[in-house]
Amino acid sequence: MALLDANRTVIDRLIAFVQQMPQENYQQPLSIFNGSSLGEHTRHIIEFYQCLMVQSSNGFVSYDLRERKSELQLNPLAAKAALQGIWSGLENLKLDKELVLEVNPHNQDTAPQQMTTNVARELHYLLDHAIHHMALIKIGVQITLPNLHLPADFGVAPSTIRSRTAVVG
């Protein structure tokens, strides 16, 4: 299915990114990110996927319930292993499975709001979410490691790629 393939492509690109990252640059706080690091953005992407993969078996998902494992933001090899687990775990998801999404959009202790969704819709959200953070990662790489190669479409939405291709073609 195209949705799974698109998510796998994003995961492949993230794996290629972390494989090339020197650990000291991966975990370095960047002023352009208000002190967060390339590793923190990578961890954030990973943990959103992990939330869906683990929690969906119970019929719900809450991205607020991330584990926030520092190892994923400090060690590119740990991030690579987690990404490989996500890549292989995608095939076990039942795309039509209905879920309850719990969100708390407020910056205070209030009861989470709940809404109905499904695994396919959440995978689409995770794809967009990952691409957004990958665009930020690309900016950070261009500033800190300008010689590190990232594909031209790293962090670029599929619709933008299609639009650019249509204009050129």
d(CA 54, CA 41): 20
pLDDT tens digits for range 28-51: 999 999 999 999 999 999 999 999
Do strands 113-118 and 98-103 pair parallel, antiparallel, or not at all (unpaired)?
antiparallel
Extract the tokens encoding 96.
């039509």
Give pLDDT tens digits for 4-29: 999 999 999 999 999 999 999 999 99
Chain mean pLDDT for the chain? 93
Given a cut of 80, whether residue 169 has pLDDT beyond it is no
The answer to whether the Cα torsion of 90, 96, 98, 102 is positive or negative is positive
In whole angstroms, what is the distance from residue 73 CA to residue 79 CA?
7
Closest CA to 66 of 49, 89, 80, 82: 49
Are the beta carbons of 55 and 61 closer than 8 angstroms? yes
Check residue 96 and report its DSSP letter. T
Q: Please, which residues have CB within 8 angstroms of residue 148's CB and are 6 or more apart in sequence?
A: 20, 21, 141
Domains and CATH numbers, the chain: 2-168 (1.20.120.450)
Q: Return the residue matching tokens 């060690």.
A: 75
| 52-94 residue pLDDT tens | 999 999 999 999 999 999 999 999 999 999 999 999 999 999 9
pTM: 0.93
pLDDT for residue 119 is more than 90: yes
